[in-house]
A and B are shown apart, each in its own frame.
Chain A
Amino acid sequence: MTTQAAAQPTTPQQAGGGPDLDPAVRLGLYETMVLSRTYEEAILREYHADKGPGFDIGKGLIPGEMHLSAGQEPVAAGVCAHLTTGDAVTATHRPHHFAVAHGVDLRRMTAEIFGREGGLGRGRGGHMHLFDPDTHFSCSGIIAEGYPPALGQAFAFHRQGTDRIAVAVTGEGAANQGAFHESLNLAARWSLPVVFVVEDNDWGISVPRTASTSVASNADRAVAYGIPGERIEGNDVEGVYGAARRAVARARAGEGPSLIEVHTLRLWGHFEGDAQGYRLDLEDAPSHDPIPRYEAALREAGVLDDETVTRIRSAAGERTEDAIAFAKNSPVPDPASATSYVFA
């Protein structure tokens, strides 16, 4: 166990990224981010396709709130690169990038987002409530409340004699919730194989973290519970990859939990329809998009060329459109079955 007076931000080099990283790994990180973005651009397109006239949130092929994760792909790609589908991930109300990176079946996930019978939850859950037992993936629409179930998954994996782990994801706003602190303490005290991930996108809907949070880094809060905490600046996918490698290895070795906070970017609104009038940084946001930036770095390093970029983008497009088509062809649930599945 490492304890520090205060956690220091980790540079990409310290984090284990950069030119020393295996080109295949770097390509994989890029590929995951591109798939996630391509997927969400398609969801965005379908979501807004039939909300008019005007914008009626409950209308259309994809009804309801829609929280998209564009800009936060480096967190999911960097963490999930170390996981197998035997490991658990509990994500947030903004779950798509983690679901994509963890290998949730895109067809059934998309059908769920469309509210169809072929969806992960047969249309009962929706985009904030995706449950995939095949990959031990789940998410919760309640801030910070995805952490406690992750403890139980980690507990079960450990009791079952495996080295499987649980990754629990929240945003920085969740770090001010009781569930966050209870979970860190309990996981630390019981040395549970958990990796806590905090996505700091600077915004709790419209409230900036500077207005909500008493510490500059939530990694300091990990230190307060006697577990390692690292903060990755710059939305750096390779920095996340390096930090996650250490945290996952520690958890698999039975040495207990760690926390990784990533300073990331919410490229779009809190939810679709959010005009973001509160957000003065919005104009600059596209210039911080992590995907073109990483693409440029990999081109410069000779890891990516035009041909590979085209291949990766087109494969992502094909998988995405296949999933959208599957969803659209999946039957709408029978209203007569609305009361099914309350009990096992």
Chain B
Amino acid sequence: MTITETPTTPTPHSRRLTTSKAIVEAIAFEMDRDPSVFYLGEDVGSYGGIFGSTGGLLDRFGKDRVIDTPISETAFIGLGIGAAVEGMRPIVELMFADFMGVCLDQIYNHMAKIHFESGGNVKVPMVLTMGAGGGYSDGAQHSQCLWGTFAHLPGMKVVVPSSPADAKGLMTAAIRDDSPVVYMFHKGVMGLPWMAKNPRSNDDVPEGDYETPIGKANVVRSGNDVTVVTISLSVHHALDVAERLAGDGIDVEVLDLRSLVPLDREAILASVAKTGRLVVVDEDYLSFGMSGEVVATIAEHDPTLLKRPAERVAVPDVPIPYAHALEYAVLPRHDRIEAAVRRAVAG
């Protein structure tokens, strides 16, 4: 796949941007209006972020506000926490979600717990951004999603945008939030010129001040036969599958959760109440994660909503393999999603 070069007619209020440029636009807008916002991480300065999350920010805001760090994730994430406690609004980038292992204590024992442990007296208004996901043969230590792991640990919101517009609106909301927000961008939605991408990674983005509330799922395609609940790059895949199956008379609803914490359970229930059939697609590991949580939401609320057992399409509890054929065998790609949808609507 290549980037879509569809000619567009820009309106005064939106134009097409890649997801990475949409993220940068949100950050720049907030840095303009709030001097306490700054960005911190590895290669976020002159490089512009390995996945393009800070392109151009250094030139615009200078090295005091767009700051390259040593490879010391524990120290600089902790620095973000301390600065947030003292009233600043840091955005701290962990280059890959996979690197959580070297700094998790600062994330889950400090960033996520200080507000609770202080009985609400100390706030940590911090955004922790990170790249996530695979599909480009980066192997088992650089391809994980891990959003379910963050979501499992209380005290941090977990936001995972799929579209450029959501990426902007949710970043705006994350920076303005008084709670710590883990903001995970899948490399495959960023619209990077050096990675295969879905055309949906380049799309209309509203100009100016644009905020998308955290915790509201989005019906990105309305349908009556089956609900696909998903997030991030898998939203793109699910939409591709839905378009293909429409030709076969299968009307697929695609629900983009947008965030795991808070999880919009009402939107899940409303959609499944309508369709009676559920497929959950998640690029994270299968067990003990998002897909189980979505199914449990139905089971706890009203299992009779389902006309057939729920289907889960996720990484089947193996590390992400390196070889292309092996990696695509475990990722929730179009073929597996389509098969699951067909099973869900059969009978």
Q: Which residues of A contact B (CB under 8 A)?
A: 88, 90, 119-126, 129, 131-133, 136, 138, 140, 142, 145, 147-157, 159-160, 166, 178-179, 182-183, 185-186, 189, 340-344
Which chain A residues border B178 with CB–CB below 8 Å? Answer: 344
Q: CB-nearest residue of chain B relative to A154?
A: B82
Give Cα A150 to B75, complex, Å: 10
A148 and B79 form a contact (CB under 8 A): yes
B119 and A179 form a contact (CB under 8 A): no
Find residues 24-59 in chain B having any chain A CB closer than 8 Å to their own CB: none
A182 and B119 form a contact (CB under 8 A): no
Which of B107-115, B128-136, B302-310 lies at the interface with chain A? B107-115
Give Cα A140 to B106, complex, Å: 10
Which chain A residues border B124 with CB–CB below 8 Å? Answer: 344
Nearest CB of chain A from residue B262's CB, rounded to whole Å:
9
The 28 listed contacts between A and B (C-beta, < 8 Å) are A121-B118, A121-B121, A129-B117, A131-B114, A131-B121, A136-B86, A142-B110, A145-B105, A148-B76, A148-B78, A148-B106, A151-B78, A152-B78, A152-B83, A152-B86, A152-B90, A157-B86, A159-B88, A179-B75, A179-B78, A182-B70, A186-B75, A341-B115, A341-B116, A342-B115, A343-B115, A344-B120, A344-B125
Partner of A125, one of B70, B82, B119, B157: B119
Q: Which residues of B contact A (CB under 8 A)?
A: 69-70, 72, 74-88, 90, 102, 105-106, 109-110, 113-125, 154-155, 157, 177-179
Give Cα A246 to B334, complex, Å: 65
Partner of B79, one of A90, A155, A178, A341: A155
Give Cα A126 to B116, complex, Å: 11
A343 and B157 form a contact (CB under 8 A): yes
Q: CB-nearest residue of chain A relative to B77?
A: A148
Partner of B119, one of A124, A149, A159: A124
- The verdict on A142 contacting B75 (CB below 8 Å), with A156-B82, A156-B83 known, is no
Q: CB-nearest residue of chain B relative to A340?
A: B120
Nearest CB of chain B from residue A186's CB, rounded to whole Å:
4
Give Cα A154 to B81, complex, Å: 11
B72 and A186 form a contact (CB under 8 A): yes
A124 and B116 form a contact (CB under 8 A): yes
Give Cα A90 to B82, complex, Å: 10
B82 and A186 form a contact (CB under 8 A): no
- Other A-B pairs, 6, CB within 8 Å; known A149-B81, A344-B120: A119-B119, A149-B78, A149-B79, A153-B83, A183-B78, A342-B116
Which A-B residue pairs are the 5 nearest by beta carbons? Answer: A148-B78, A152-B82, A122-B119, A156-B86, A182-B75
Which chain B residues border A342 with CB–CB below 8 Å? Answer: 115-116, 154-155
A156 and B87 form a contact (CB under 8 A): yes
B119 and A148 form a contact (CB under 8 A): no
Which chain B residues border A122 with CB–CB below 8 Å? Answer: 119-120
Q: CB-nearest residue of chain B relative to A140?
A: B110
B117 and A150 form a contact (CB under 8 A): no
Which chain B residues border A123 with CB–CB below 8 Å? Answer: 119
Which chain A residues border B116 with CB–CB below 8 Å? Answer: 124, 341-342
Partner of A343, one of B69, B106, B155: B155
Give Cα A147 to B110, complex, Å: 12
A152 and B80 form a contact (CB under 8 A): yes
B121 and A133 form a contact (CB under 8 A): yes
Nearest CB of chain A from residue B23's CB, rounded to whole Å:
23
Partner of A124, one of B74, B109, B118, B179: B118
Q: CB-nearest residue of chain B relative to A129?
A: B117
B72 and A182 form a contact (CB under 8 A): yes
Nearest CB of chain A from residue B217's CB, rounded to whole Å:
18
